[in-house]
Structure 1
């Protein structure tokens, strides 16, 4: 069995299996030395070789990669998640929840010996845990039957078992976040279509609970657990029954399962009641209102409106309820991917930080960055599916190669960015100045083509027929709006650069804010706003970079103010920083531009070598030169 850190490293490889990984990045991400990383990779390789006959491969002298089939990766991910569960079994509350889920999912008796083996606990410890389990299920008129030579079995009404799942916050243990979100998406689509078809009005709160009701019903049916037989519905329920039957009929086609009539009747009753829900409901009115109110605050601060996205609201409500339970009981989850999430998705993490701050303010609790990173995943998914799709460009590849020869290039682009990416491939002779170039990101494998059309298409990108990591960076930046290096360099003004002695984080922030004030006066609001945001969440992003920013945009233009302390500066209780970027986004900026700036900087702060390159000679000229050289190879 792998250690927790080794599991986190393996999870990192799984999440980045399509791209080569820099060995130096691993030491930074996991805050350990090269020798420790090498030993961990050796242990992971042994495990992968023994269990799956695959391995982590060296790619050149500094990079490593993970190559396996999609099915193999899925199996490894399941195994990694199971091993993480085992590590969490040291927590009695987690063990009890796991036992409850195990009993709820089981169709037959479960032997105590098997539970002891899976949970890595003693018989006496299991007995104590089962006493807690019995005290919980009694509230739902359920019984834990124990039969000699057979084992344990949960007996009782299926409807009460479903109430147990909801009220004890067990839903998150049933399936992965990815599966949950996909399920909610198609349930939402089927439910919306049918309610519109029948002109059946429901409130937001009722609608959200209907989604969760269907999700749980499908999950239970797949596992062989069905509702008990009930009497025939009264006449007044016939219209609701017809709607329910249509909804489940649509879902059944997608899921390839058959929902029993009892499920349809139960859902019809839920529809017909059309009332405010009581305390045993899934998303209570307070939680629904809390999520909606926080999303309104986010809309005001971040110029991005999540309030109309029902899928996101349901997902956040389902996430927030067990989150509050963890926060109040001081059992917060750790997350080995926090710095990676912050570096790759800084804007989404910032939004999640605001969401977390509002939750903590309302319920008087405290939260760590690791939990915020889990929240950020919901916003990342939304922005990838909604904002990304709304602003996607078609890619036009100009190549003298036959289309069959460009197949690998096209497949690699789809793999890197989006399987639904619209890619058109033409020969240079087919290119015309009449093509509306604003509709396309133009890539070419031909240097001669660039020379011929240099005036007409100055933004075209030269790419290799067999694309490398460098090509990935070029296209990634271009898709996010950065086509010329000067676009980024222009954000760094000489008057907004500082290098020297500072004794504290507050002094550094004061110096940087004063520099911005000289260009764009805010009457001291900027420093106060930056300090307010620091109270909410740490602006440390790993690799000894910190990127503070005001709580709300205050300047008329976008500025990046750079601070390099003479010696490492203590940024919070655990981390020190060597480079500080004060990010000031202009007022009324579009969400697309905000995303672009964070994306541009993410490439720089992810590279641990850049800190040493910059601080070796902490002058403005060396800083600009270092930044220029770092990005320059992406635009070759």
Structure 2
């Protein structure tokens, strides 16, 4: 059986099969020696031989995964992925802590620490460290780890807090936590019951909200099957907290689910579900959205216009979408039942500008809930803004594209249609054959595309794309249409005078250092610093991958620049999140398209390997070299 790390290494090769990967790259990635990597590779090689593949050694270059039986190897990868997500790896501390939490929170009795250590094949001293980490996890849910001499350990606290812990720590999915008597997930059974009752009751919720609701109900059912019920009087319910018909729907759902498993239930279970269900309501467009909500939305969009010189107030679809989202959001904020979003960091990395304006919007219209609002909730709103930005991005002129390919004109219809489907601001796509190319007309077009590698080599302005356009081709074309035609357009936003590497004690010193560098170069006032610090108070600037991007709360400077800081030692940025790379970003207030830089930065900030390479060699030259590597394939 492969270890957790060995599975991850195999997935690296599988994702890049037919490509040579050096052992040193893997050693750096997993922070282990080359010898250890070579031992892992030998184990993996023996396993993949049974799965229709060969992990072949290429002398002085590395190893490459050669797939001989596609179906067999794909099945092997699928099984490994399942094992990876459903098993515990006791050689990894985080996995051991998960095991301790899952075991203790589902137990009615005390369990001795020695028994837990034996089950994980670890020493008493090691489990002591793991238990200390477990206590920190439990604190977040007002739960405690009680130790009783001669009896052992037990998790104590309210049932509602235990359920919150189970859901938010993903125990409901991990390691088959929710099962029926046949060791099959009960999620589908609960889903069928809930869906039918909601349909019969004409109660509409979104797909994501439905999934969250099903998780809550399945968790409740599993806990009740184990004899764990909510304490009576554990939920205080005012008459106006939940509509009467929502209570009726909740009662039907709990009754049907409990009947399915022959379980008794209490009124507290119905009330908790009603509060949860009310917060996930997706109001129909025909239903009434109050003037108060409308005014809040308009105020928030005006704040975005003031801060970013971006007017979205006339986007009726966006205003309706926000109204429909804010109504249940307010209910969730009042009850404290906020949605969890496992895609938060991905959304922040892929749509950083949309997330930024969603933060501004949310905090401006709901200042009274500033402390309760989470990045998870804001990231859902960011998706609405992302859609709006794609549709309403200011365009000075319609765009013209020159397409050079060897195919007959009739055979380029697929490419033309795909481009027009992707971009709604295309005026003309002129197609010419390779033999009819006239470089003197290139300046008449916003983008020159070709499917011919020889044309791309002969004419630097021609961008090579595939005949069957890919997502990478989309990125290339979009950057060209927006005026980014070379890596230099990106590199110009960086400057050696705006780079820092050295000792830093905390985030405040780092921001101060980066601001002073920008202030000196561009002769800025302290207004930029004040705006950056204000934004730090109202929204998170952590973007995952140990990267923070502080930026002003509104557009201030007359140019766009990025100041980069690398601390010698990781620093705590917020909460328990540590950072080893900081980019202070400021966008030109006079350029309506300048905020597109956020989109282009997404290619870098979502690339963990490249970010790691930046911090491993903390020099300006290395930074520029890596940024060049990130973007060179897009031009």
TM-fit CA distance, 1:416: 6.6
* Pick aligned residue for 1:317 from 296, 301, 323: 323
TM-fit CA distance, 1:567: 1.4
When structure 1 is superposed on structure 2, of 475-484 and 389-398 the one drifting more is: 389-398
* 1:603 paired to 2:592: no
Relative distance call for 1:568 and 1:438 in structure 2 (3 A) is farther
**Structure 2 counterpart SS, 1:599:** helix
Structure 1 gaps of 5+ residues are 1-23, 29-33, 47-74, 137-164, 175-179, 181-211, 217-281
CA–CA distance in structure 2, aligned partners of residues 87 and 81 of structure 1? 10
* Pick aligned residue for 2:563 from 554, 557, 561: 561
TM-fit CA distance, 1:284: 1.9
* Pick aligned residue for 1:589 from 578, 588, 591: 591
* 1:287 paired to 2:293: yes
Contact 1:459–1:484 (Cα < 8 Å) also in 2: no
CA–CA distance in structure 1, aligned partners of residues 354 and 253 of structure 2? 45
Q: Deviations over 1:222-268 (max 9, x none)?
A: xxxxxxxxxxxxxxxxxxxxxxxxxxxxxxxxxxxxxxxxxxxxxxx
Contact 2:401–2:449 (Cα < 8 Å) also in 1: yes
Contact 1:477–1:483 (Cα < 8 Å) also in 2: yes
CA–CA distance in structure 1, aligned partners of residues 561 and 426 of structure 2? 35
**Structure 2 counterpart SS, 1:124:** coil
Q: Deviations over 1:130-165 (max 9, x none)?
A: 57899x9xxxxxxxxxxxxxxxxxxxxxxxxxxxx9
TM-fit CA distance, 1:359: 2.6
Aligned residues: CA RMSD: 4.3
> Whose relative contact order is higher, 1 or 2, with alpha carbons under 8 Å and at least 6 apart?
1
Relative distance call for 1:399 and 1:362 in structure 2 (3 A) is same
Contact 1:97–1:170 (Cα < 8 Å) also in 2: no
What is aligned with 1:123?
264
Superposition map of 1:236-251 within 5 A? none
What is aligned with 2:449?
443
TM-fit CA distance, 1:495: 0.4
**Structure 1 counterpart SS, 2:566:** strand
Q: Deviations over 1:394-417 (max 9, x none)?
A: 543210123565566557657776
When structure 1 is superposed on structure 2, of 78-87 and 356-365 the one drifting more is: 78-87
Superposition map of 1:336-351 within 5 A? 336-351=342-357
What is aligned with 1:428?
434
What is aligned with 1:614?
614
**Structure 2 counterpart SS, 1:564:** strand
**Structure 1 counterpart SS, 2:576:** coil
* Pick aligned residue for 2:393 from 370, 374, 387: 387
CA–CA distance in structure 2, aligned partners of residues 289 and 111 of structure 1? 36
Superposition map of 1:189-204 within 5 A? none
TM-fit CA distance, 1:521: 2.5
Superposition map of 1:403-552 within 5 A? 403=409, 406=412, 409=415, 425-431=431-437, 437-450=443-456, 454=459, 459-467=461-469, 470-552=472-554
Structure 2 gaps of 5+ residues are 1-25, 31-39, 45-76, 87-194, 196-205, 221-229, 236-240
What is aligned with 2:82?
42
Superposition map of 1:235-384 within 5 A? 282-362=288-368, 366-384=372-390
Relative distance call for 1:571 and 1:384 in structure 2 (3 A) is same
Relative distance call for 1:535 and 1:117 in structure 2 (3 A) is farther
Superposition map of 1:98-247 within 5 A? 114-116=256-258, 122-125=263-266, 127-129=267-269, 171-172=281-282, 212-213=285-286
Structure-1-length-normalised TM-score? 0.58
Superposition map of 1:37-116 within 5 A? 41-42=81-82, 83-89=211-217, 114-116=256-258
TM-fit CA distance, 1:552: 2.1
TM-fit CA distance, 1:368: 0.8
Contact 1:530–1:551 (Cα < 8 Å) also in 2: yes
CA–CA distance in structure 2, aligned partners of residues 598 and 133 of structure 1? 40
